[in-house]
Amino acid sequence: MTTIKFGTSGWRGIIAQDFSFNNVRLATQGIAEYLHSKPETQDSKQVILGHDTRFLGREFSLAAAEVLAANGLAPLLCQGNTPTPVIAHTIRARKALGGINMTASHNPAEYQGLKFSTSNGAPATPDVTKQIEANIARLQSENWSFKGAVIGTYECKTIDPKPDYFKQLRKLIDFNALKKAKLKVAVELMWGTGRGYLDTLLEDVGAKITRFHDELNPLFGGHHPEPNAEGMAEVSKFVRSGKAQIGLGLDGDADRFGIVDKDGTWLTPNQVLALALYHLKKNRRWTGAVVRTVPTSHQVDAVAHLLDVKVYETPVGFKYIGALMESGPIIVGGEESGGLSVKGHVPEKDGILACLLMAELVATEKKSLGRILKDLEKQTGEFHTDRINVSVPPEKKEALLTKLGSGLDQIGPYKVEKFITTDGFKFLLPNNEWVAFRASGTEPLIRCYIEAKSAAGLKKLREACKKLLAS
């Protein structure tokens, strides 16, 4: 029997092994029962459904729709492959009870996933997912089962979520600045749900775009759909050759961004977050605080300090950032993996919005992003970050985490000045350098995050971490 657990962002499993039609029905029944326990369910019955470009996405959504309908709810399926932020916006725009999104985001092709969002469009918080997990465990103990229609034949009411979402982005982004700039843009769609969204919006403002991987391919070309340096390599090469001024990319469900600067350099999401804060505060004169997760760069704090903005630190996962964005004015909230949202938008990360915001910054200041960063670094000092994914055999994982969590005094030659356990283990070292370790909640990996004040410092710290992980 599969244990259905919601990790950093939804429940993920290997298709046909644990992510099966029966388990999707079971998880949906757990969600339906949760929704019925809420007073709002008196007013609305709508639940928004959507899926990414993965194998059987639509069929998994239809299986969920059938279970919701059997529970007296009104499922509404988004047409085609739909980005996570678009589903989030649709939930809010239609005042629905919540949404179920079939996506495994950046995971490799053999995975599928289920993200549940509440009526505010935010990823469900742990207090909600705990109730759903308990419902699922109870249903399992009662041997609950559901006799569904033949796979893919259930009929569900559908909607086109695009017009409402485009309207929202036209409110948030300065499309006039983009129109005037007539940018040449390379767009990495990563065989994902961003197709027809980011590229279309850019084309509408007269940008000259070159698309990469805009066809349907549920195997993602043998890679995993993540717009990190490796995922953005083709775009980097294209931009470096002078054929575009900026490269913009998305992950499989378009909630993460990847940005390539004019010279072909892939910018870390840490740098992009610092730039987004700078742009919204300085050029747009927005007010409020900034939120970042524990392993996100202190470069964000340094820029915030410069602009007199308060910083909040949360555990990893946009559900924590989203919750804060709902409770007070937050200019921008984001995380080092490439997630960001802004004031007035959904409390969910939006890669499409983030990409357009960086294009807007270039159009506004008529400078490269690297140039703007360099100017900021003259005042804040430099920040060099890295993220290493370590594949550890399950039998060794606990021992390694216990060792890292035992409160080390030294990391290699560096003295630990402070130990933070908000999420995993973060060690503050002298000179505002730090390292952090935590178990991924989406993949069988341990992540190691590093920040140093120079390229040489980063190299030294990386060696120290590698030694520690191997010992």
Contacts to Co ion by CB under 5 A:
105, 251, 253, 255-256
By a kind-dependent CB cut-off of 5 to 8 A, residue 318 interacts, out of Co ion, ligand VG1, none, with ligand VG1
Output Rg (C-alpha) for the chain, integer angstroms: 22
Residues near 373 by Cβ (< 8 Å), separated by ≥ 6? Answer: 267, 271, 274, 275
Q: Residue 87: helix, strand or coil by DSSP?
A: helix
Residue 165 or residue 437: which is nearer to ligand VG1 going by CB? 437
Query: Rounded to an integer, what distance in angstroms lies between the CA atom of residue 439 and that of residue 436?
Result: 11
Residue 7 or residue 412: which is nearer to ligand VG1 going by CB? 7
**Least distance between ligand VG1 and beta carbon 73 (Å):** 24
By a kind-dependent CB cut-off of 5 to 8 A, residue 316 interacts, out of ligand VG1, Co ion, none, with ligand VG1
Residues near 428 by Cβ (< 8 Å), separated by ≥ 6? Answer: 416, 417, 418, 419, 420, 434
Residue of minimal Cβ distance to ligand VG1: 105
Considering only residues 158-217, where is the footprint of ligand VG1 by CB under 6 A? none
Query: Rounded to an integer, what distance in angstroms lies between the CA atom of residue 99 and that of residue 87?
Result: 7
**What one-character DSSP code corresponds to residue 43?**
T
Pick the stretch among 37-45, 89-97, 435-443, 458-466 that binds ligand VG1 (CB under 6 A). Answer: 435-443
By a kind-dependent CB cut-off of 5 to 8 A, residue 441 interacts, out of Co ion, ligand VG1, none, with ligand VG1
Interface residue with ligand VG1, options 342, 443, 451, 464 (CB under 6 A): 443
> Regarding beta strands 289-293 and 311-314, do their DSSP bridges make them parallel or antiparallel, or are they unpaired?
parallel
Considering only residues 238-257, where is the footprint of ligand VG1 by CB under 6 A? 251, 255-256
Q: SS3 sequence, 296-363? A: CCCHHHHHHHHCCCCEEEECCCHHHHHHHHHHCCEEEEEECCCEEEECCCCCCCCHHHHHHHHHHHHH
**Least distance between Co ion and beta carbon 253 (Å):** 4
Residue 338 or residue 424: which is nearer to Co ion going by CB? 338
Judge contact between 209 and 201, C-beta under 8 A: no
447 binds ligand VG1 (CB under 6 A): yes
Encoding tokens for residue 204?
């509408």
By a kind-dependent CB cut-off of 5 to 8 A, residue 224 interacts, out of Co ion, ligand VG1, none, with none
**What one-character DSSP code corresponds to residue 145?**
-
Place of tokens 């709902």: 326
Contact code string over 315-334 relative to ligand VG1, x by CB under 6 A: -xxx----------------
**Least distance between ligand VG1 and beta carbon 226 (Å):** 8
Considering only residues 1-30, where is the footprint of ligand VG1 by CB under 6 A? 8-9
**Surface-to-core class of residue 266, CB atoms within 10 Å of its CB (0-12 exposed, 13-18 middle, 19+ buried):** buried
Interface residue with ligand VG1, options 126, 218, 315, 441 (CB under 6 A): 441
> Regarding beta strands 311-314 and 339-342, do their DSSP bridges make them parallel or antiparallel, or are they unpaired?
unpaired
Place of tokens 């649709």: 90
**Least distance between Co ion and beta carbon 36 (Å):** 29
Closest residue by Cα to residue 99 from 85, 83, 87, 81: 87
Residue 225 or residue 264: which is nearer to ligand VG1 going by CB? 225
Residues near 404 by Cβ (< 8 Å), separated by ≥ 6? Answer: 424, 425, 437, 468
Contact code string over 255-294 relative to ligand VG1, x by CB under 6 A: xx--------------------------------------
**What one-character DSSP code corresponds to residue 79?**
S
**Least distance between ligand VG1 and beta carbon 441 (Å):** 3
Residue 4 or residue 250: which is nearer to Co ion going by CB? 250
Considering only residues 87-126, where is the footprint of ligand VG1 by CB under 6 A? 105-106
Residue 29 or residue 442: which is nearer to Co ion going by CB? 442
Query: CB count, 10 Å around CB of 200?
Result: 13
Pick the stretch among 32-40, 165-173, 176-184, 439-447 that binds ligand VG1 (CB under 6 A). Answer: 439-447
Residue 88 or residue 239: which is nearer to ligand VG1 going by CB? 88
339 binds ligand VG1 (CB under 6 A): yes
- Taken in order 286, 287, 293, 294, is the CA torsion positive or negative? positive
By a kind-dependent CB cut-off of 5 to 8 A, residue 25 interacts, out of Co ion, ligand VG1, none, with none
Which positions touch ligand VG1 (CB under 6 A)? Answer: 8-9, 105-106, 251, 255-256, 316-318, 335, 337, 339, 440-443, 447
